[in-house]
Chain A
């Protein structure tokens, strides 16, 4: 029964399709997978069980959620005009559009990761306090989810497709170690150079998508202003 573990995937898809709470879906998928794999509910060090594997992985993953420590500083700055100030700064640049702002941010993000600088979640430390209020300030259209979505996307695009430009990146190291397990060798510098065509393509496609977003926002703004008496 080699394919039985795949039932966990079925559980995840079913959970999302039925719009169950994601936490519940994930937990159910975990238990189903563990049970069909013959894991006990609570195991020992020698034979790990479901609950202890979840707990160990959750504790080991705490760094992902470390951003909660930054929330008081960001929240207080927001309370005292951070978003308004971000709006003022961006409105001084008459050429600024949401799309161009996102492209500039993406270039910035690529430069940061290409130098091997890791800062935790860019969504929390750059996008939330700075990029999102600037983008919303340009459109003056807080209703447009797409403006905020683009601010998350530019962070992800820059981070995902740019990070392996740095030959010491975790992704490059993973490629090296994976190849080694398969009896192959490769030089990290040679691996990293394959990122160049990918990052170029990613920036071109971003420019296209942000251009389309700007066009959509212009049409939307025109419709809004003509709709008002």
Chain B
């Protein structure tokens, strides 16, 4: 029983239930110009969460394709949510003061605490983090409700206000991770490494350092994930061109290429959880605003990585 309640499935089912509740309230939200389509979208997402571990893979895949189609048809819209007026906000801040931070600060605190307990082998780090995050979120909701003495339904309304602000973008991180898996299965990474290996001038240390960093950053730009890029680029380029040829420290090459890949992550809409979801969540006007802000910084960090590799080649 305890095992089931502290499994990842438990928090996924809880998320699924929350999403299904959002779907029901969306269905009756007359301020939403596409309430049926939007409700279908949130309902399908809720189902994929609640049943993701028991459905056969093709069924979950069908849910995913259906969500993308509903969004593709432009049927996922948001309702009009009443924003609190200036006066209400000031009055609430006067009334609750710093205590209103309590629920929000509880989430990181309660997510962190369980990781201090030695759980023993067989309990993965992922499970500890995400199960804690799930329960911390639920506890924070209860504390926020008790603190504000709002009606419980307000939790649904306010959660749905934020979910509506994010919209269909909410599925992108998972969808893009799935695309990465498909790309890997189809051999995209090997093709890239092979194509680049043909054109790199292997005599010039600077050119090699530049080409390796550029390839892994570009690969990450396409896949949205540096972790998918590293194994392919290391075996295709890093090991033969940098470690074997210039006798560089293997760990240094691996680490520099890994964070060099992050320069690509900073620039790509494919890393939706880092770049696109925040733009939606913060209600920015430009969905690519985060990427535009990060791009010059990423270019500068890219130069740092090339310079670091180049220095290493000179020093050895």
Contacts and interface: CB of A to CB of B under 8 A. Distances in A.
B100 interface: yes
B304 A178 contact: no
B115 to A, nearest CB: 7
A68 B266 contact: no
A53 B162 contact: no
Interface stretch (A17-25, A93-101, A220-228): A17-25
A64 B301 contact: no
A3 B182 contact: no
Contacts of A175: 230, 251, 254-255, 258
B60 A58 contact: yes
Task: Say which size band chain A's interface belongs to.
Answer: 35 or more
Contacts of A105: none
Nearest to B234: A178
A30 interface: yes
Interface string B247-271: 0011110111011001001100110
Contacts of B155: 72-73, 75-76
Given A76-B145, A80-B150, A184 B243 contact: yes
A179 interface: yes
Contact of B185 (A4, A39, A132, A146): A39
A175 B256 CA distance: 10
A153 B290 contact: yes
B6 interface: no
A124 B276 CA distance: 13
Interface string A134-150: 00000000000110111
Contact of B234 (A63, A172, A182): A182
B101 A70 contact: no
Contact of B58 (A6, A55, A67, A164): A55
A14 B229 CA distance: 21
Contacts of B65: 27, 51, 54
Contacts of A157: 266, 294, 297
Contacts of A118: 115, 125, 129
A66 B68 contact: no
A211 interface: no
B284 A149 contact: yes
Could you say which of A33, A65, A157 has the most chain B C-beta atoms within 10 Å of its C-beta? Answer: A65
Contact of B115 (A117, A124, A156): A117
Interface residues of B, number: 148
A22 B269 contact: yes
Could you say which of A55, A73, A157 has the most chain B C-beta atoms within 10 Å of its C-beta? Answer: A73
Given A57-B178, A66-B134, A174 B230 contact: yes
A198 B284 CA distance: 30
Given A3-B191, A164-B259, A54 B182 contact: yes
A153 to B, nearest CB: 5
Interface in B38-82: 48-49, 52-53, 55-65, 67-68, 71-72, 74
B138 A69 contact: yes
B154 to A, nearest CB: 6
B33 interface: no
Contact of B251 (A37, A152, A187, A205): A187
Contacts of A30: 178-179, 182
Interface string B100-137: 11011001100110010000000001100110011011
Given A2-B191, A206-B297, A23 B72 contact: yes
A120 B112 CA distance: 10
Contacts of A192: 255
B301 A202 contact: yes
Contacts of B56: 52, 55
A148 B282 contact: yes
A148 B281 CA distance: 10
A12 interface: yes
Given A160-B266, A184-B239, A194-B251, A55 B61 contact: yes
B137 A21 contact: no
A171 to B, nearest CB: 5
Interface in A156-192: 156-157, 160-161, 164, 170-172, 174-176, 178-179, 181-182, 184-187, 190-192
Contact of B175 (A23, A73, A153): A23
Contacts of A36: 186
B96 A81 contact: yes
Contacts of A63: 8, 126, 130
Interface string B172-201: 111111111111011110111011000000
A34 B198 CA distance: 25
A23 B259 contact: no
5 contacts: A5-B191, A53-B61, A66-B12, A76-B155, A175-B251
Given A70-B137, A205-B304, 4 more contacts: A8-B179, A74-B158, A125-B104, A125-B108
